[in-house]
């Protein structure tokens, strides 16, 4: 896994930085647009929101939060996300015209999909439940477990075999669940949705691990699914939003 996600090479404060791509200024948008203010970094969690905004063609302004420099702890950002993590959004024009602040990537995907009536969150109750099941599975399981694998295999100051074994075993189990879930299907619930967007950045990130630790080739359905989704121009653009 790359240390770049956590590096501290940025050189400007969060509120003065903008992504190199995506909508950059409210003035560039047509009158009546309701722009979304995105505070993020191009990590697997941050990239989900960039992908969704591009897929749904929502006007947005991207602000880089350099977590390597501690931008997430600045009072301006903590007002948006009390948990001091990217991604977060501000919708200056929420329901009844009031500003809405949303943190946690899953909550942001649901908020945006509902606000913009996106088919990426199905309306049918059964399909919606299945989509949210996979979404919460990623936020509560796949992401944290892969994050711990990254930590103990790449960043921990001491070798902790018990932790490595524990998190790697669970990460592999979850990847097997994903691979089985994709058997005979193009997307997790049959149709492309926020369930796919939520997990695909993490699974794409397996390429950052040593193949002796985690190898995408061991999960052929997941590998084909990553390639299918990353063939989409919206995804290719979305993952670069808030890149350093
Ligand atoms: N459950 C959160 C996780 C967010 C998260 O862990 N973000 C990381 C970057 S991928 C972060 O901001 N880390 C900074 C820190 O921990 O100080 C979500 O899905 O939004």
Q: Summarize pLDDT for 198-229 with one digit per residue, the tens.
A: 999 999 999 988 999 999 999 999 999 999 99
Would you state the pLDDT for residue 236?
98
Residue having the nearest C-alpha atom to atom 13 of ligand 1: 85
CATH class assigned to 3-120: alpha beta
> How close is the Cα of 83 to the center of ligand 1, in Å?
9
Extract the tokens encoding 199: 């997990």
Q: Where are the domains positioned within the chain?
A: 3-120, 125-231
Would you state the pLDDT for residue 13?
29
3-class secondary structure, 38:
strand
**Which ligand 1 atom sits closest to the C-alpha of 85?**
12
Q: Do domains 3-120 and 125-231 have the same CATH topology?
A: no
pTM: 0.88
Give the residue carrying structure tokens 């995408």.
Answer: 216
Per the prediction, the chain carries an average pLDDT of 88
Q: How confident is the model at residue 11 (pLDDT cuts 50, 70, 90)?
A: very low
Considering the domain delimited by 125-231, tell me its CATH architecture: Up-down Bundle (1.20)
Taken as a whole, the chain contains a residue count of 244
Contact 138, 113 (CB under 8 A): no
Q: Which residues of 112-132 are buried (b: 16+ CB within 10 A; e: fewer)?
A: bbebbebebbbeeeeebebbb
Tell me the C-alpha distance between 70 and 230, whole Å. 30
Backbone torsion region of residue 218, taken as left when φ is above 0, otherwise alpha when ψ lies between -120 and 50, otherwise beta: alpha
Extract the tokens encoding 149: 């694998």
> How close is the Cα of 32 to the center of ligand 1, in Å?
32
**Which ligand 1 atom sits closest to the C-alpha of 104?**
20
Would you state the pLDDT for residue 182?
98
Task: Give the mean model confidence (pLDDT) for residues 167-194.
Answer: 98
Would you state the pLDDT for residue 28?
29
Tell me the C-alpha distance between 50 and 33, whole Å. 18
Q: How confident is the model at residue 27 (pLDDT cuts 50, 70, 90)?
A: very low
Would you state the pLDDT for residue 224?
98
Which of 85, 142, 150 maximizes ligand 1 atoms within 8 Å of its Cβ, making it the mutation to test the pocket? Answer: 85
The distance in angstroms from the start CA to the end CA of the chain is 17
Contact 93, 101 (CB under 8 A): no
> Over 70: is that where the pLDDT of 7 sits?
no
CA distances from 207 to 139, 204, 241 (A): 20, 6, 20
Residues with CB under 6 A from ligand 1: 43, 45, 67, 72, 84-87, 104-106, 139
């Amino acid at each position: 896994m790359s240390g770049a996600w956590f590096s501290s090479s940025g050189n400007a404060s969060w509120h003065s930085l903008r992504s190199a791509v995506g909508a950059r200024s409210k003035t560039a948008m047509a009158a009546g647009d309701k722009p979304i203010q995105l505070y993020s970094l191009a990590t697997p969690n941050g990239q989900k929101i960039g992908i969704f905004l591009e897929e749904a063609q929502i006007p947005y302004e991207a602000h880089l939060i350099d977590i390597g420099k501690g931008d997430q702890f600045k009072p301006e950002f903590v007002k948006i996300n009390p948990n001091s993590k990217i991604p977060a959004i501000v919708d200056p024009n929420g329901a009844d015209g009031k500003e809405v602040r949303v943190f946690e990537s899953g909550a942001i995907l649901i908020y945006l999909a509902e606000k913009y009536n996106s088919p990426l969150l199905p309306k049918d109750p059964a399909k919606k439940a299945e989509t949210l099941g996979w979404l919460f599975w990623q936020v509560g399981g796949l992401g944290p477990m892969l994050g711990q694998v990254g930590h103990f295999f790449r960043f921990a100051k001491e070798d902790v075999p018990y932790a490595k074994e524990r998190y790697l075993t669970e990460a592999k189990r979850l990847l097997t669940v994903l691979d089985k879930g994709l058997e005979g299907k193009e997307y997790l619930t049959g149709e492309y949705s926020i369930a796919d967007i939520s997990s695909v950045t993490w699974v794409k990130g397996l390429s950052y691990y040593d193949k002796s630790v985690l190898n995408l080739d061991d999960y052929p359905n997941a590998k084909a699914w990553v390639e299918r989704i990353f063939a989409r121009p919206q995804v290719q653009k979305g993952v670069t939003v808030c890149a350093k």
